[in-house]
DNA sequence: TATTATTATTACTAATATGGTAGTTTTAAT
DNA sequence: ATTAAAACTACCATATTAGTAATAATAATA
């Protein structure tokens, strides 16, 4: 039950965009350096983030990335969902057809409850909250 | 962020022991058949469960497995912790020395909070609860 | 229009985790 | 002695994770 590096790195990338929301386009290269994440690897994570409409980008000189929504409109759930695909702890919760035992499986009910709890936490935290936390820490 | 098959299969194994708590030793083979889990694979999961003192076993004819504690004393957290090792979503939460950015990393605070939430849910569910759920369903 | 700095795309790779299978040994009841 | 079970040991195939590398497309600007 580990959070993937995709999700963790992607969240940190989004946080950096949030911290520089008013600066216009930010270079991926700069974020990679500041967050100590491989530039090439980060450039893979950015693809689904852009496709989902959470960020937008400009090519060429003076290009870069920027958030496509306001800080309070982007939750951790949005970000992690995009980077991990299915947020569910167990496949059968979202997709019951993968297991014939679903109807008689009590443990599934628990995993479902746990899924809901996790989603609740993740959707309650926005980029705005992270920025506030960051500012308070300094 | 998936729950491993180890954790899922192991939980179902423990639930079967709980459902047959008063029957004495239960054969792993029978549980494997009923739960449709590979017998050999299940026999690997049973090793840490025994080592942790959650179950005990007898060899030879009329051998088998049984719970080593009462139903209300075994939580899902106990089981999953044994089978997955570290319950933490992110390594740095339990083991800060793995990352030099820990002191300045705001996202880590969120992962820590999420860890606590998950632990709370898992430690609130006992085998007794699962048995009650199962009985109510029938 | 040539240059430069950036994102975008594609292809590959090494390491690790997952989900097993197979065979042998030990143990204990009958 | 036989039998039925757990215990132990050694593999193995596949998927996932976490990258690296090289190249193409794009857009500002000198």
Taking the CA of residue B78 as centre, how many other CA atoms within 13 Å lie in the half-sphere pointing to its CB?
21
Spans of all domains in chain A:
5-137
Average pLDDT, rounded, for chain A: 95
In chain A, residues with a C-beta closer than 8 Å to the C-beta of B122 are 114
Q: How far is A93 from chain B (nearest CA, A)?
A: 11
Please compute Rg for chain A using Cα positions. Answer: 17
Candidates 1.10.10.10, 2.60.40.420, 3.40.50.620, 3.40.50.720; correct CATH number of A5-137? 1.10.10.10
Q: List bases in chain C with any atom under 7 Å of a protein Cβ.
A: 4-11, 17-23, 26-30
Footprint of strand C on the protein (CB under 7 A): A 27-29, 40, 43-44, 46-47, 50, 57-61, 63-65; B 4-6, 38, 40-41, 44, 58-63
The pLDDT tens digits of the residues spanning A87-103 come to 999 999 999 989 989 99
Contact A15, B106 (CB under 8 A): yes
Q: Given a cut of 80, is residue A120 above it in pLDDT?
A: yes
Listing DSSP states for B15-70 in one string gives HHHHHTGGG--B-HHHHHHHHT--HHHHHHHHHHHHHTTSEEEE-STT-EEEESS-
The pLDDT tens digits of the residues spanning B111-138 come to 999 999 999 999 999 999 999 999 998 7
In this structure, are strands B64-67 and A55-58 parallel, antiparallel, or unpaired? unpaired
Distance CA B5, CA A138 (A): 42
SS3 (DSSP) at B126: strand
From B2, B117, B137, residue closest to A1, measured CB to CB: B2
pLDDT computed for residue B32 by the predictor: 93
In chain B, residues with a C-beta closer than 8 Å to the C-beta of A118 are 1, 114, 117-118
Distance from residue A63 (CA) to nucleotide D13 (C1'), in Å?
45
């Amino acid at each position: 039950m580990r959070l993937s590096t995709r999700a963790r790195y992607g969240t940190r990338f989004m946080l950096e965009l949030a911290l520089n929301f008013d600066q216009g386009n930010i270079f991926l290269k700069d974020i990679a350096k500041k967050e100590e994440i491989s530039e090439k690897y980060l450039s893979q994570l950015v693809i689904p983030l852009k496709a989902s409409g959470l960020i937008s980008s400009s090519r060429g000189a003076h290009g870069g990335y920027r958030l496509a929504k306001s800080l309070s409109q982007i939750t951790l759930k949005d970000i992690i969902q995009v980077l991990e695909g299915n947020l569910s702890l167990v496949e059968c919760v979202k997709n019951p057809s993968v297991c014939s035992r679903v109807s008689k499986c009590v443990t599934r009910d628990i995993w479902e409850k746990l899924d809901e709890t996790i989603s609740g936490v993740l959707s309650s935290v926005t980029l705005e909250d992270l920025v506030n936390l960051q500012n308070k820490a300094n």
